[in-house]
Every structure is written in C-alpha cells, then in structure tokens.
A and B are shown apart, each in its own frame.
Chain A
Amino acid sequence: MADSDAGKKGTGEVMIGGPFSHQEIGASLLPREGQNLTQIERDKLWRIFQQIGYFWDDLHSSAKDSANLKSTWLEFIEAKTTCEPTYVAEYSNAASVVDELIELYGEKKAFALLFQNNGIPKNPPRPPLTRLEHAKKYVVDEFIRVNVVASGFKSFGGKNYSGYLGGSRYNLKPRVRVE
C-alpha cells in the first residue's frame, strides 16, 4: 500500500492511515456487537501502551519499559470492557487501525505518526468521525492518561501526580518532595 499520501484531508492537514483508518463511523462510542476482546487484540493494545512510554521517555522502571505497569493497565482494561459503556468495540477498532498503520509505515514510524503527526483536524476540534480518530480519542488519549497517572509523571520531576495519593495506611513516609 502507498505511504502516507493515502491520507484523507481534514482542515489542511493530511490524516495518516489507509482506507480502514479513514472509514467514517460516526462520533458515538462504537457499540459492542456481542464480541469479547481477544488475547490477540489485548496484546496489540498493550503494544500501544508500551509505545507511549518509549515515545515520551517517561518510563520509571530500571528496565525502561512498561512491564511494571501491566497489572494497573490490565485492571483498567478490565474495567473498561466489563462495565457499561463497554469499550470492547473501540479496542477492537484500535487494534485494527494500528495493524493498518504498521503495515503502511512500519512500527516505529506508525506510532510516531499516531501520537504526534496524525493529521487529525485540531482547529477547530471535532468529534471523532473516522476509525483513526476513534482510536486516538478513546484508546491512545486514555492510555496516555493511564501512563502518566500510573508513573509517567515521575520522569517529569514529581513523586505524586496531582490527586493520586495513597490513603493513610500507605503513608509511612513522605510521598512528596519536601525541603
């Protein structure tokens, strides 16, 4: 398939991806059609989450990967796929979008484009109308927040991210920067 010139015009920018990513599907959360998340899809989603840590270099573990966040991330995925409104269809969509992007651009470039130069119209912002926009809003953007809250903030200098402080039973020593 051709490179990013297969993109779709937004407001002057070229949206990355191919026909699947550009397919218009409406702004609402995609309905679950009875499907469940497969392990293959879960693995693909985990790869998105890992790439966020690599791309912004905000990994906190000595291994410099996101493995220490996996239980947190899995709990997040569990909450988003077992309670209403379910994200199962959104997750399935995002896995397929990323498949197409990797096929088009190769893994490293695909994620760099998805995270930074995706061509999704920003000015003015609009609701997510295509499969690519759904993947960015409902999956990538939420994974970024999970990444930052779970530990990404530490690489920027913090010890506790705003609002995410353990309860009293965990507070055996100061959890914030003090003098």
Chain B
Amino acid sequence: MKQEYEYVIVGSGVAGSTVAKRLLEHNRSASILILEAGPQVEAKIRRFWWDYVVHANGVEHKAYDFTCDQPGESTSSGNTRFLVEGSRVMMYGGSTVHWGGWCLRFKPEDFKLLSNTGDGGDWPISYEDLDPYYYQAEDHLSVCGDIDESWNKLMRKPNTPYPRPPFWWTAPDEEMIKAFKKNNIEPGKMPVARYRKCMTTGTCKYCPLGSRFSGQLVLDELLADRRNLNFKVIGSAPATQVLVDSKKRITGVEYLDLTTGETKQVFGGTVVVCSGTYESPKLLMLSRNQYWDNGIGNDHDLLGRYLVSHSMLKVRGQLDQNKERWFAEYDFPSLMSRTYDTEEYQKKNKIFLFKNRALPDIDLAGLMIAGLSRKEIDKQLTASRQQELQAFMEEKGDKDNRITLANGKNRFGLPKMKAHFDRTPDAQKNGDNWLKLMEKVVADMGYKVIKSEIQDPGGHHSTGTCRMGRNPEEGVTDADLRVFGTDNLYVCSNAVFPSGAAVNPTLTLTALAFRLGDHLAKNRP
C-alpha cells in the first residue's frame, strides 16, 4: 500500500522533532512521518543510571554507546584528524540524548563571516531574522543564563531573561574569575538546557541524572498527545534515497527496514532532511537519478563541502596544595567568557573560553575502593589540584574540507564516510597565540602550566556540508532551507550553517527548525 504523508522528516533529533512540533502546533491534524535510522531505546531506566554511577562514571559501563559512531565507520584525511567517533547518537531523539546542553546564541557577526574576514561563508539571513526564534528555542530547551553579561546586552532585547536563572559559579571558579579580570576577560555563566522533565536518559556521559533537554521526550509527548492523530515515528529505518518524479518535484523517501531487511518507500508532499552534518549530504549524494547526476542539490559540487568544527584549546595548570578541599561540584562548566568571541577577533579565529568542567577533581570512591584510609585520602585531597582553561576556536569553512561517501555501510545501514580536514597555517598560528593568552590566565591564577595544546576538531559541533547560500553557486539550500532546484525538499541541520561560530550549534539549529516549521505551515499547499 502506498503510504502518503504531508511531511516526511528524515531524522528524529532536535531538528526533526522541533520541525514536527511546530507543524503540529499550526495544524494538529497534519500528517507527519519521521524516519529514524537508529533504534528506539528505552529511557529513564533506573538500573542503567545506577550502573553508570557505580562503574565510575561510565569507565566500565557506558549506556547506549552502541548508538554512537564506532571506530572504522569513518576515516579521516588531511593535515588534521577529524574526530567522528563517539560524536553523535543515532537513535530515537538523536544526539540530544547524549549532549552537554550548552545553549549559546551565535552573534550577529557570525552571520557575516565572509564579509568580515574574507574566509568562510555568509548566511543569507541575518541575526535579526533569527532573533525571535532564538527566544522560542531557549524556551523549548529550557535554557538558563544571566542577562547581565555584556554580550547578552548586544544580542537580547532589554528585559528578556532566560527561561531559567543561571547556574552559580562554583568556589573553584573564583580564582579563575580573578585571573580573568586581571586580563580584562569578562566572566560569564554558562547557559545550559535544563529541561525539567528529563530524568535519567542514561546516555549522557556527564549528566547521568539527566536534567537536560532530550529530544526523546519531545517525541514521546507528541506521540502521546491524542490531538496529533496523524503523527508517526518509524525507527530502525535508515533513508537510502530521496525519490523524485521530475527535477523539481520530490515525491518521497526510500528506506531500509532494518527489522525485516526490506526496502520500503513512503511518499510525502514535503520532505525535510534533518539528518545532521554527515547524513544529510550523504543522503542527497546517494539520491542520484535521471535528473540529478551527482545527487540532489549537487549540480555545483557543493554537497559535503565546507566542513567545519571547533578545534579545542586546552591549558592546564597545577597548584601544589588544595587546602580548600576543592573538587568539581558540577560536572559541567559554570564559568565561561565571550570576551574574545567578537567581531574584532573574527579574523583571528575567535574563541569561546570556559573552565574545564571536571577539574579540580578526585575520585574519592576510587581511593576508598583501593583501600586507602580516611587519613590517606584527606592527605591526597589537600596535596594538590589542577584547573584547566579551555576554548572552542572557530574554524572557517574551506571548500576542500569535506565529507565524501566511502565503501561499506555502518551498523545502521548507512554508508561509511571519509572526512578531509586541513587546518590552515593561519588558524594554527592564531591557535598558538590564543594558547599564550590562556597560559597567562592560568599563570595569573598562581598555577604552573603543565599542558598547553590545540586538539583536533571533533565531530560534535560539525557544521557545513549543505550550507545555505544566496544562489545555487554559493549554497545547497536557500535562505528558507529549501534545496536549490527543488520545490519541496528542505534540509534542517547543522549542515546548512555557512559558518560554525565559536560556540555550540544546537540552539541555533533549534531556532532554524522553528523558523522552518513556520515557513512550511505558512506555505502549506
């Protein structure tokens, strides 16, 4: 039987679930199908949580890791290794089942990277276009934050607080705050998605209590809401190609039913690809047909290109006493700064600073298990401590940094991939300079610097690969996220970002998803 829906959404992560939510808010009877490549894994299992706790924060036991990228499923080339392993979750709810929850807005200059620096890409929309959707995204993700920070005054309208009050700085933050101030760095409080209903998804490496937003719960609510008569999610259903009946007209999606091994087709008036920075371009590349020789949206060889992620800078210091008996009390960062995340530093690969969430730390239980006495543990606790200043450095999009299809398939039936990434000499030089600044901050805390390094870019914050543009020569999608040359195919993913900024992408993606939902509802045939 031919299955038809108004909307077929590929991917059930924060983008797909947000688009669906917004469409249903406009029209409760809209027929929507979400196809998810990964399985639906039960959440809120107390046993998983306890196992996580008693196995040293997942050293031995990491719940649901089978849904993350595994070794051998992607390869990397170029002068800098691009880390994909463990960077995303492929399951019902997507990677927000397994994330840090940091929710920062991009800044107005991030939408004009090319104009401001001559590198990377410009967005065909402005910060002002996205501003109302940022508020909605913050509300949806239940973000906490402090509006009194100077950068917020530039981005937020007066008297528009975050949905939740900020997390407090911890006592160990204070000595870094003093060093910040000595170096004219403004301290800020990390905005985090504190979702009231999330209790123990069990997948988040450093929030086993699960007080963060999870896409699973949005889907659960949408499915449980009896008004949403025609909303459906099919798991274990990797999309294998987008179907067309003409160059412009998309008719549906073909997918593999992993439970039976059958190839199936579903048909939809509008198809929205919400499959992340890797799977979105891969699906379009796989969709070769008589109208699209190189895959849908790839007439200008832009699919997979302009791959970007953050390179992480780390400077660690050691102090030979810890009389205050400090150890990490949150397992996520509470101190951050956007002082160097400004237009002024955009040419120099601007950075977003934050304190290492896990330091200073001591494994009290581990020492007890090893048989140390209370006296011996107290001695270790007070003997020394380490703190670390970290930063995300913006990498600018280069056309040759890209992902391509590789031979073979992963566990979910999706093609393996290659990632090519070259860090430019300029970015390397700028990174080294940022490290010197960070070393000074750590030294001003009275610590001896014991480590200073630029890490390889990680797949967690990857963007680009289907970027937005003003025309088909510049981008894969237009400002409304519609794939150029098609009437009814959209991409809603980090893949459409023309620049990656210096901060985490999820809030901006959520804002884009709300915006797309409104656009689709407004232009309903």
Contact = CB atoms under 8 A, between A and B. Distances in A.
Interface of A: 52, 56-58, 75-76, 79-80, 82-83, 115-118, 122, 140-142, 144-149, 152-153, 156-169, 171, 174-179
A148 B368 contact: yes
A145 B168 contact: no
B369 interface: yes
Given A148-B364, A153-B364, A157-B325, A177 B198 contact: no
A77 to B, nearest CB: 10
Interface stretch (B16-24, B169-177, B491-499): B169-177
A156 B378 contact: yes
Interface in B268-325: 324-325
A165 B371 contact: no
B437 interface: no
Interface stretch (B46-54, B250-258, B412-420): B46-54
Contact of A148 (B50, B208, B365, B381): B365
A144 B196 contact: no
Contacts of A156: 325, 327, 364, 377-378, 381
A30 B142 CA distance: 44
A76 B206 CA distance: 20
Contact of A176 (B46, B47, B330): B330
B196 A160 contact: no
Given A57-B374, A167-B211, A76 B325 contact: no
B373 interface: yes
A176 B168 contact: yes
Contacts of B127: none
29 contacts: A56-B368, A82-B47, A83-B45, A115-B368, A116-B373, A118-B371, A144-B368, A145-B365, A146-B54, A148-B365, A149-B365, A152-B364, A156-B327, A156-B378, A157-B325, A157-B326, A158-B329, A160-B329, A160-B330, A162-B328, A163-B57, A163-B330, A163-B331, A164-B208, A165-B330, A167-B198, A167-B210, A167-B211, A176-B329
Interface string B314-352: 000000000011111111000000000000000000000
Interface in B345-401: 358, 361, 364-365, 368-371, 373-374, 377-378, 381
Contacts of B57: 162-163
A162 B53 contact: no
B56 interface: yes
Contacts of A52: 368
Contacts of B326: 157, 177
B53 A149 contact: yes
A102 B225 CA distance: 57
Contact of A163 (B47, B198, B209, B381): B209
- Chain B: interface secondary structure? loop
| Interface bracket on B | 35 or more
Contacts of B365: 144-145, 147-149, 152
A177 B194 contact: no
A178 B168 contact: yes
A8 to B, nearest CB: 18
B47 A178 contact: no
B379 to A, nearest CB: 12
B144 interface: yes
B61 to A, nearest CB: 11
Nearest to A136: B369
B199 interface: yes
Nearest to B174: A179
B470 interface: no
Contacts of B44: none
A165 B377 contact: no
B213 to A, nearest CB: 11
B327 A76 contact: no
Interface in B10-62: 45-47, 50, 53-54, 56-57
B164 interface: yes
B53 A145 contact: yes
A165 B328 CA distance: 11
A44 B2 CA distance: 62
Contacts of A159: 329
A32 to B, nearest CB: 15
A95 B139 CA distance: 51
A135 B378 CA distance: 26
Contacts of A177: 170-171, 326, 329
Nearest to A163: B331
Nearest to B199: A167
